[in-house]
Amino acid sequence: MNSEVNKDGHLVIGGCDTVELVKEFGSTLYLFDENTLRSMCREFKREFGQRYEDTTVVFAGKACLNRSIASILKEEDIGLDVVSAGEYAIAESVNFPADMIYLHGNNKSAEELRTALKNRFARIVVDGFDELKLLAKLAEKAGCIPDILLRITPEVDAHTHKHITTGLSGSKFGFPLFDADRAVSMAMSLESLNLVGLHCHIGSLINETQPYVETIDVMLGFASQMERKYGFELEELDIGGGFPVRYTVNSPNVKIAAFAEAIVSRLISRCNALDMPLPSLTIEPGRAIVARAGVALYRVGMIKDVSGLKRYISVDGGMADNIRPALYEAEYEALIANNAAAEDTDTVTIAGKYCESGDILIKEIKLPPAACGDIIAVPVCGAYCIPMASNYNASLKPAIVMVKEGAARIIRKRDTLQDLVRNDLL
């Protein structure tokens, strides 16, 4: 993140004074720094590409997708994983090339599958037997043969929060390993589908490289069995996303390079050991590409001391724009954007404004003394905040600005009160 503190003690991001941004665009305000976003796209391409040329980087749109981000990804020549007609509509609106789009989801509608077929998406990642049969029929009707991957649950524990673990048996995603043999033989027998490889995604915010290494062992071991049994050829191995970011100073600081090194070296060594040709490698980072680029800016309102124990600093946003602390006990850092160089002397709790006791953004954080009207900046808010935002308490979803080298442009207007009633009928 390109940040500094200016002579007024204000936090400056992407060359823009965050206090001025809030004055101009109001709060709650989300800002994205374009250079950070681009540099993360490049870091993934570089770190994996220099070790394994045949790597495709596909951004997981669910982490945060809007027209501006989609245009930047397109310029950076990054693929896109979409999970709904809605995500595709955003991509399509900026002419994102369909042949760089992967379609995911455990319950794709026939309409979504038809859209993928009609527009010739790069891949459809098939999640279950019903989908396999439906897609085969639809493809036959559409007169095309889509390239598909089968999503397999490799039964590897990613050691992350239970809500974002997807690699263990019992997950709603993918073919369980015990049934994956049948899935491969069925997919190979369906003439209207072209099975090019296997997919897996074991979870999100994975701080260790070991679960990826185990996953590669399982996936390649399975592929090699399928080769012996059915002559299946693994042309592509997609290992999903899950790469971590540092939310707080205490979280592990593992570099993308370390993941690239562990994944690529295991892929090569296992393929050699199993005497398999090297497949192309696909990765689907979401969080690690956008999280650090985004910062939430809130205005402080009421401050309350409770039982001489706790000081609550209430801000004008909260769980409606960032549900992650309430949902996953996610932790964040914060600073006072208009007093960014001051010493942290007070221990406070930053509370959201919504009608739930669980609407706490940060429990127990050290900050300089805060006052009504101050601006609180919460870094690393670029992933899974805006996409999971709601209009809870009939709140207005925040505006978003993109900053770059001293210039700010609004990329999403704040909701208006009219928006709240627009779709309601009497």
Interface segment toward ligand LLP; rule CB under 6 A; list 115-123, 281-289, 356-364, 368-376: 281-289
- The distance between the two most distant Cα atoms of the chain, rounded to a whole number of Å, is 71
Can you tell me the distance from the alpha carbon of 127 to that of 149, in angstroms, rounded to the nearest whole number? 9
Q: Which of 245, 225, 168, 177 is nearest to 201 (CA)?
A: 168
Are 389 and 408 within 8 A, CB to CB?
no
Distances from the Cα of 66 to the Cαs of 143, 149, 357, in angstroms? 32, 26, 31
Regarding 175 and contact with ligand LLP (CB under 6 A), the answer is no
Are 376 and 353 within 8 A, CB to CB?
no
Regarding 321 and contact with ligand LLP (CB under 6 A), the answer is no
Give the residue numbers annotated as catalytic, written as ranges.
355
**DSSP reduced 3-state for 187:** helix
Beta carbon nearer to ligand LLP, 33 or 238: 238
Beta carbon nearer to ligand LLP, 201 or 404: 201
In which region does residue 15 sit, left (phi positive, over 0), alpha (psi from -120 to 50) or beta (all else)? left
Binding mask 187-226 for ligand LLP (x = CB under 6 A): --------------x--xx---------------------
Residue 64 CB, shortest distance to ligand LLP, in Å, is 9
Can you tell me the distance from the alpha carbon of 359 to that of 379, in angstroms, rounded to the nearest whole number? 18
Regarding 353 and contact with ligand LLP (CB under 6 A), the answer is no
Regarding 128 and contact with ligand LLP (CB under 6 A), the answer is no
Regarding 123 and contact with ligand LLP (CB under 6 A), the answer is no
Regarding 63 and contact with ligand LLP (CB under 6 A), the answer is yes
Regarding 324 and contact with ligand LLP (CB under 6 A), the answer is yes
Regarding 243 and contact with ligand LLP (CB under 6 A), the answer is yes
Q: Is 223 exposed, middle or buried (0-12, 13-18, 19+ CB in 10 A)?
A: buried
Q: Contacting ligand LLP (CB under 6 A), which of 10, 16, 72, 104?
A: 104
Interface segment toward ligand LLP; rule CB under 6 A; list 86-94, 212-220, 282-290, 355-363: 282-290
Residue 87 CB, shortest distance to ligand LLP, in Å, is 12
Are 33 and 2 within 8 A, CB to CB?
yes
Q: Which residues bind ligand LLP (CB under 6 A)?
A: 60, 62-63, 81, 104, 164, 201, 204-205, 240-243, 284-288, 324, 328, 384
